[in-house]
Amino acid sequence: MAIKRTDGRSLTELRPMIAKVGVIPNADGSAIFSFGDTVAIAAVYGPKQLHPQHMQDPATGILRCTYDLLSFSVHDRKKPGPSRRSQEISKVTEWALSPALDLQGFPNQVVDVQIYVIQADAGTRTAGINAASMALAHAGLPMKDLICSVACGKLDKDIVVDLNKDEEDFKDGEGATDFPLAKFATSDEFTLMQLDGKIQPERVKEVIEAATEACKEIYEVQKKALKEVVKH
Amino acid sequence: MKNKINKVQEAEDTEEIEDTEEIEEAEENEAKTYVSEEVKKRKVVVPGEVIVTGEDYLPSDGTKRVGKDILANRFGLAEEAGRVIRVLPITGAFMPRRGNTVLGRVTDITFHGWLVDIDSATSGFLPIEESPRFISKNEMDQFLAIGDVVAAKIMGVKAKGIDLTLKSKGLGKLENGFTFKVSPNRVPRVIGKEGSMINMIKEKTGCSISVGQNGWIWISGENIDNEIKARKAIDFITEKVHMEGLTDKVEEMLNGN
């Protein structure tokens, strides 16, 4: 009954993942993460003194994320510079990552995370969050856990994980629903939950279960990449 | 005092009992023993990962206790020293701590002292009272001018900033020579056990070398060839940090050239 996905994957199969840490020597922490043709790169700078001063918080350090698509990442050139979409994603990325970070020890300071999508094929924010989580760990910041992120969705009536661009544009039957999620790697705490499309409320549970399973796979990939730092 | 000794003995006794139990249950508990052996060898951990399980262990730097487990609070090398578990950083920016010796560059002179850039989030402040001899406020720039490189010790880290001092051995302005940066996480390896590595390089090249915990290194020698030789040896160390018997390799390298 299951519809065949365009790239022949099963419903719960993720695209092949590649992760590498320490790709930007100048940064304090960096990582690259890809879901198939979606490639995101993240760099962490800091903790450093926060300017402008009115943004400083004397109680804790703050996290500042920047997400953007590079001009050549999509078929029709993306006009460089911040857009409504990229600012929104920067903000939700910040909210997705900050619960895992503990910046109490860095008052008045900021940790800057910059995420750039080199190649886009749907699921860019989730790839960006995965890369940023690895980069933050690589920067040696105090963290409760790693963050894993994946976009689930619904194609007509089937719940699937990790949609690609063709699937996102799926029009038959009930159409496509995009449901990006992010969660703590070792607990069931979710830090990002967005919904674009329609889904029956009772089916959300199925989505969450599928995402939890997928995140386990992502966590293994992230962990392996981080542990390879030492081997050289 | 006696109580303490008794307590220690008690602790040892219980440990022994546990050990024998472990041997008996070794086959059943293979996974568990595997983990504890790994820790002794040091292992890389990611945030949130369980390092060890058990009430006997004490969480230290970079770790925290959640129920029976000790979790890593940061990415690094987990190390077991007796019962104390800590995670040593292997990447990331320099985190200033009290007592660290750092190298920095004077960026500004104020009425009360010098501002020193030490490659951390907040810049260091060296008060005029912390200079090794009396300096009049009119001649501050003759002692340390803007752009001078200085070796200083961190007196304290506060929310406002970092206080530095020059009142200790081997601190002060560094003249001649040159400075360069390495990753602050590689500094322990450059220095070596009780300074074995750095002393060997100093001896073989005849250079004076000063290493700051913030990753700044200053080298000054009689001629430029020796300085380059010393720098090459240090670059070699920072590239091959995880190699075993590194001191011998570096010695070989310095003898060869």
Residue B189 φ then ψ, to 5° = -75, -35
More confident residue, B55 or A80: A80
Q: Considering only CA atoms, which of A194, A172, A61 is closest in space to residue A126?
A: A194
Q: Specify the domain boundaries for CATH 3.30.1370.10 within chain B.
A: 178-256
Per CATH, domain B101-174 is 2.40.30.10: no
Q: Is residue A159 in some structural domain?
A: yes
What pLDDT is attached to residue B6?
43
Cα separation, A156 vs A148, whole angstroms: 26
The model scores a pTM over 0.90: no
What pLDDT is attached to residue A46?
86
Q: Specify the domain boundaries for CATH 2.40.50.140 within chain B.
A: 101-174
**CB contact at 8 A, A183 and A215:** yes
Residue A82 pLDDT greater than 60, yes or no: yes
Cα separation, A212 vs A225, whole angstroms: 20
pLDDT in tens, B205-221: 999 999 999 999 999 99
Query: What count of Cα atoms within 13 Å lies in the side-chain half-sphere of residue B45?
Result: 32
What pLDDT is attached to residue B40?
57
What pLDDT is attached to residue B24?
35
What pLDDT is attached to residue B41?
65
Question: Measured between CA atoms, how close is B48 to chain A, in angstroms?
Answer: 4
Provide the Cα torsion A20, A24, A26, A30; round to 10°: -50
pLDDT in tens, A183-221: 999 999 999 999 999 999 999 999 999 999 999 999 999
Q: Which residues contact A120 (CB under 8 A, 6 or more apart)?
A: A38, A69, A73, A74, A165
CATH topology (fold) of B2-88: OB fold (Dihydrolipoamide Acetyltransferase, E2P) (2.40.50)
Residue to test with chain A: of B46, B86, B241, most A Cβ within 10 A: B46
Q: Is residue A109 in some structural domain?
A: yes
CATH number where A152 lies: 3.30.230.70
Cα separation, B188 vs B94, whole angstroms: 13
B69 near A CB under 8 A: no
Q: Is residue A3 in some structural domain?
A: no
Residue B18 pLDDT greater than 80, yes or no: no
Residues of A in Cβ contact (< 8 Å) with B159: 58, 107-108
- Whole-number average pLDDT of chain A: 94
- Whole-number average pLDDT of chain B: 83
Question: Measured between CA atoms, how close is A59 to chain B, in angstroms?
Answer: 10
Q: Average pLDDT of A117-125?
A: 96
What pLDDT is attached to residue A3?
64
What pLDDT is attached to residue B122?
87
Q: Is A38 helix (H, G, I), strand (E, B) or coil?
A: strand
Q: Is residue A79 in some structural domain?
A: yes
A12 near B CB under 8 A: no
Confidence of residue B121 (pLDDT cuts 50, 70, 90): confident
Q: Is A188 helix (H, G, I), strand (E, B) or coil?
A: coil
Locate the chain B residue with the closest alpha carbon to A48.
B121
Confidence of residue A171 (pLDDT cuts 50, 70, 90): confident
Cα separation, A138 vs A227, whole angstroms: 10
Cα separation, B23 vs B60, whole angstroms: 28
Q: Is B151 helix (H, G, I), strand (E, B) or coil?
A: strand
Confidence of residue B251 (pLDDT cuts 50, 70, 90): confident
**CB contact at 8 A, A162 and A156:** no
Q: Average pLDDT of A118-137?
A: 97
Per CATH, domain B178-256 is 3.30.1370.10: yes
More confident residue, B26 or A232: A232
What pLDDT is attached to residue A232?
53
Cα separation, B132 vs B171, whole angstroms: 9
pLDDT in tens, B58-117: 999 999 999 999 999 999 999 888 889 999 888 989 989 899 999 999 999 999 999 999
Number of domains making up chain A: 1
Residues of B in Cβ contact (< 8 Å) with A189: none
What pLDDT is attached to residue B160?
80
Q: Is residue A50 in some structural domain?
A: yes
Task: Determine how β-strand B149-157 pairs with β-strand B162-165.
Answer: antiparallel
What pLDDT is attached to residue B257?
58
Q: Specify the domain boundaries for CATH 2.40.50.100 within chain B.
A: 2-88
Question: Measured between CA atoms, how close is A227 to chain B, in angstroms?
Answer: 6
Residue A151 pLDDT greater than 60, yes or no: yes
More confident residue, B66 or B244: B66
Domain hosting residue A131, numbered range? 17-227
Residue A33 pLDDT greater than 60, yes or no: yes
Q: Is residue A232 in some structural domain?
A: no
